[in-house]
Amino acid sequence: MGEFTTVGRAEEVAEGQVRPYEVAGQQIAVTRIDGTLHAFSDICTHKACSLSPGETIGTAIECECHGSVFDMTSGAVVEGPATEPVATFGVRDEGGALQIEA
Amino acid sequence: MRVGQTLVIVGASVAGGTAAATLREEGYDGRLVLVGAEELPPYERPPLSKEVLRGEEPAASAFLRPEGWWEEQGIEMRLATRADHLDPQARAVVLDGGERIAFDRAIVATGGRNRRPALPGAGLDGVFDLREIRDAARIQEAARAGGHAVLVGMGFIGAEVAASLRQMGVGVTVVEVFETALYRVLGAEMGRTIEEMHRDHGVDMVFNDTVERFAGTGRVERVVTTRGRAIDCSFAVVGVGTVPVADLMQGRGIGANGGIEVDPQLQTEIPGVFAAGDVASHDHPVFGRIRVEHSDNAVKMGQAAARNVLGRGETFDDPHWFWSDQYDTNIQMAGYAPTWDRMVVRGSLAERSYCAFLLQGQRLRAAVSMNWKRDVRRSFGLIRSQAPIEDKKLADPDVDLRTLVPAGKDA
């Protein structure tokens, strides 16, 4: 477990949005689903495309390059071609500050 | 289907393997037999012209499921086994050698085979084509030895192999019958954007010419073209299209394009026998009769065929999406446009960053992108619904394509 780093303001991530951040050299995407924040690696495990610009359907996000689909809450692969899950990270709203644990 | 019945899938391909996996995921726990001509379990072919060819990833990374998964799922794997024909009366698949596997329902997913023009010298060592993992291994070995390659044909396979070989430091000359790269799929204007990208990466391209013969002593040393060029080479790769492997139907239910004709729900003229993937000539609700060779289509059709074998009766209306990575460029296409009367571009062809829309009247038939990832997948709804659209909205990058589909018309 790493430490929580403030990356911005929690209100930047509106319901259903996915925003990219960089923490300790890692590209991490943050989304808000039903009010809850979730953070996951923004690098697709298939061919390293950035996931954050992709389409979302419920808790799933689809990679723009080759169509892999991941669950943003667990990192699990929902649909290939990717076979490996993306990492997930702790994320919290600390008095309005958006903090990621990495 | 009930337990106690037998379901046979012919073709341990992406479509066949995906169908088998889907059947288990959907809860079918009856007997399931997967017959495949190759000795390997189902694997994806897109990496064979890219990471696997370049040796960046092992061949096993392309396997659809980990080794052993098929047996764990109780799927009877009959690999290195060719199906000779399908006996519609006896409802049996007859294997080479005469063994018969009786089935209640079947899915044919035998894919395609490469077209190999019968040219003089085509049997020389060092004249390759690319379909199977072992083909990729042979090309990789030749490329590692260095030298110069001649590629015959600049469709997607030729273009991807050209990119991989350049990335490996091999000199490349392409001989292509049409006037530019990918001409048949993308037309001249877009084809030139691909051509120029390859030229920037040092690929030498000869257009409007064909190979007359391969020359050499035992091994290919030179490719001679119809227009009299002689190109020295250390190996050659032929990529001039494929033909469906539909022999097992013995002419029954075969369409003009050589594929097995299936109805909108993927059923052949033999009740209870479905076809999926490259071999299927599908009666598509938007495109009409069509046979495509995309990996994603093989996955989606395999899934749909499996569900329909189980009685779902779903119409397959996928908009047919595929991608191609060449160097650091991502190319995508959705839809089907054998002809179009207008092209509207969002972005810039000259800067090789665009999404081009191919229209027939006010209807979107296909979308093609180069280094413009967002919009091809966003055009699915417009292609499926065939809703009329205005050119200026297509051309405006700020217009979200998904909002142009009328409500209730799919997304």
Tens-place pLDDT, residues B169-210: 999 999 999 999 999 999 999 999 999 999 999 999 999 999
Residue A67: list chain B partners with CB under 8 A. 296, 321, 323, 377
The pLDDT of residue B4 is: 72
The tokens describing B146, both together, are: 């260095």
The tokens describing B400, both together, are: 């979200």
* Digit-coded pLDDT (tens) for B282-325: 999 999 999 999 999 999 999 999 999 999 999 999 999 999 99
Write down the pTM of the prediction.
Answer: 0.91
Compute the mean pLDDT over every residue in chain B, rounded to the nearest whole number.
Answer: 95
Scanning every residue of chain A, which has its alpha carbon at the shortest distance from the alpha carbon of B411?
A: A57
Check: CB of residue A54 under 8 Å from CB of residue A44.
no
Section B137-164 average pLDDT = 97
B109 has a pLDDT exceeding 70: yes
The pLDDT of residue A47 is: 87
* Digit-coded pLDDT (tens) for B354-389: 999 999 999 999 999 999 999 999 999 999 999 999
The conformation of residue B219, written as its DSSP 8-state character, comes to: B
The tokens describing B182, both together, are: 């990918």
Residue A81: list chain B partners with CB under 8 A. 44, 46
The pLDDT of residue B37 is: 96
Dist CA B188 CA B182 (whole Å): 8
Q: Beta partners for B94?
A: B85, B100
Name the residue among B49, B30, B37, B50 with its Cα closest to residue B10: B37
The pLDDT of residue B2 is: 57
The pLDDT of residue A91 is: 95
Contacts with A81 (C-beta within 8 Å, 6 or more apart), sequence order: A46, A66, A67, A68, B44, B46
For residues B117-138, one letter each, b for 16 or more C-beta atoms within 10 angstroms of the residue's C-beta and e for the rest, the string is eebebbebebbbbbbbbebbeb
B411 has a pLDDT exceeding 50: no
Name residue, tokens 């799919």: B410
What is the dihedral sign for C-alpha B118, B123, B127, B128? positive
The pLDDT of residue B407 is: 77
Q: What DSSP string describes B339-405?
A: S-SEEEEEEETTTTEEEEEEEETTEEEEEEEES--HHHHHTHHHHHH-----HHHHH-TTS-GGGGS
pLDDT band at A1 (very low <50, low <70, confident <90, very high): low
Contact residues, chain B to chain A, C-beta under 8 Å:
44, 46, 296, 299, 321, 323, 325, 330, 373-374, 377-378
Q: How far is CA B372 from CA A18, B356, B367, in A?
A: 19, 10, 11
B3 has a pLDDT exceeding 60: no
Dist CA B291 CA B153 (whole Å): 20
Section B80-109 average pLDDT = 97
B325, A62: Cβ pair inside 8 Å? no
CB contact A55 to B (< 8 Å) = yes
Q: How many CB atoms lie within 10 A of CB B251?
A: 7
**H runs (alpha helix) in B145-269:** 156-167, 183-200
Check: CB of residue B154 under 8 Å from CB of residue B176.
yes
Scanning every residue of chain A, which has its alpha carbon at the shortest distance from the alpha carbon of B51?
A: A47
Dist CA B238 CA B44 (whole Å): 20
The pLDDT of residue B408 is: 64
The conformation of residue B98, written as its DSSP 8-state character, comes to: S
The pLDDT of residue B74 is: 97
Dist CA B377 CA A57 (whole Å): 13
Name the residue among B187, B135, B131 with its Cα closest to residue B13: B131
B321, A49: Cβ pair inside 8 Å? no
Check: CB of residue B316 under 8 Å from CB of residue B289.
no
The conformation of residue B92, written as its DSSP 8-state character, comes to: E
**H runs (alpha helix) in A3-102:** none
Contacts with B250 (C-beta within 8 Å, 6 or more apart), sequence order: B85, B86
Check: CB of residue B298 under 8 Å from CB of residue B21.
no
- Which of B63-72, B199-208, B232-241 comes out lowest in average pLDDT? B63-72
Contacts with A91 (C-beta within 8 Å, 6 or more apart), sequence order: A30, A37, A38, A39, A98, A99, A100, A101
Host H or E run for residue B70: helix B69-72
Q: Is cis: bond before B46, omega within 30 of 0?
A: no
CB contact A58 to B (< 8 Å) = no
Share of chain B above pLDDT 70, in %: 98
The pLDDT of residue A2 is: 75
For residues B15-33, one letter each, b for 16 or more C-beta atoms within 10 angstroms of the residue's C-beta and e for the rest, the string is bbbbbbbbbbeeebeebbb
Q: From the list B44, B377, B378, which residue is nearest A81 (CB)?
A: B44
The tokens describing A62, both together, are: 């689809």
B20 has a pLDDT exceeding 80: yes
Residue B363: phi, psi to the nearest 5?
-110, 135
Contacts 24+ apart (CB under 8 A), B256-262: B257/B281, B257/B289, B257/B291, B258/B291, B259/B291, B260/B108, B261/B289
